[in-house]
């Protein structure tokens, strides 16, 4: 797989150069190179994604569906990075600390779109995820990654719709844009902390 052209994530080109110059050097504990390349491909797709093109749909509905798919792609990339750096295995508190985007102010902003959250809770089909959505809605945690995971789940299962729960397209667009921006930031953070920083001295 060619990786030198996948420079969209900050530091990816630097990482590839390090791999080329240090072919026998050990990677950080838990990092799987083939899974990391798979992550790079998913991130490249998410980064390059510019929305969808539909005929006979209102413009705002097309944008809203595009934003939903954008969250799906961004979450899929983050999920693959999580796998590539070994965080799917419980190592100390990493599984707790890193599977989260805890931000109270952003969480409060998202809670204003209560119809979206109610729709996600109604449609997800796992009790664990339903429970986490309720905890988020009640303010018992501020982990907005729960909402991104729920959207990913419903898009993958063909359940997600921009008008579910009487939600207008504008609300869906704003909701999804907030989630995607924070997912991208979290992905960058995890790549830097679990891949780049341990091997490259700044």
Output the 3-class SS for the chain: CCCCCCCCCCCHHHHHHHHHHCCCCCCCCCCCHHHHHHHHHHHHHHHHCCCCCCCCCCHHHHHHHHHHHHHHHHHHHHHHHHHHCCCCCCCCCHHHHHCCCECHHHHHHHHCCHHHHHHHHHHCCCHHHHHHHHHHHCCCCCECHHHHHHHHHHHHCCCCCCCHHHCCHHHHHHHHHHHHHHHHHHHHHHHHHHHHHHHCCC
Q: Return the pLDDT at 158.
A: 82
| Per-residue confidence (pLDDT) for residue 95, from 0 to 100 | 52
**Residue 47's pLDDT is what?**
93
Q: What is the pTM of this model?
A: 0.89
Segments of the chain scoring below 70 in pLDDT? 1-7, 88-97, 165, 201-202
Chain segment 88-103, per-residue pLDDT in tens: 655 554 555 678 899 9
């Amino acid at each position: 797989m060619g990786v030198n052209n996948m420079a969209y994530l900050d530091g990816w080109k630097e990482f590839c150069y390090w791999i080329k110059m240090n072919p026998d050097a050990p990677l950080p504990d838990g990092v799987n190179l083939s899974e990391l390349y798979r992550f790079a491909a998913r991130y490249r797709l998410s980064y390059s994604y510019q929305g969808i093109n539909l005929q006979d749909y209102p413009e705002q509905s097309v944008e809203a569906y595009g934003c939903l798919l954008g969250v799906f792609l961004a979450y899929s990339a983050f999920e693959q990075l999580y796998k590539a750096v070994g965080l799917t295995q419980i190592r100390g508190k990493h599984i707790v600390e890193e599977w989260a985007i805890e931000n109270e102010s952003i969480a409060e902003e998202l809670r204003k779109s209560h119809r979206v959250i109610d729709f996600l809770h109604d449609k997800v089909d796992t009790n664990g995820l339903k429970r986490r959505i309720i905890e988020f809605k009640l303010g018992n945690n501020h982990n907005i990654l729960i909402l991104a995971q729920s959207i990913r789940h419903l898009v993958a299962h063909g359940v997600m719709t921009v008008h579910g729960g009487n939600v207008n397209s504008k609300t869906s667009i704003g909701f999804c844009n907030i989630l995607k921006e924070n997912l991208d930031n979290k992905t960058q953070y995890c790549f830097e902390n679990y891949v780049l920083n341990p091997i490259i001295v700044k």
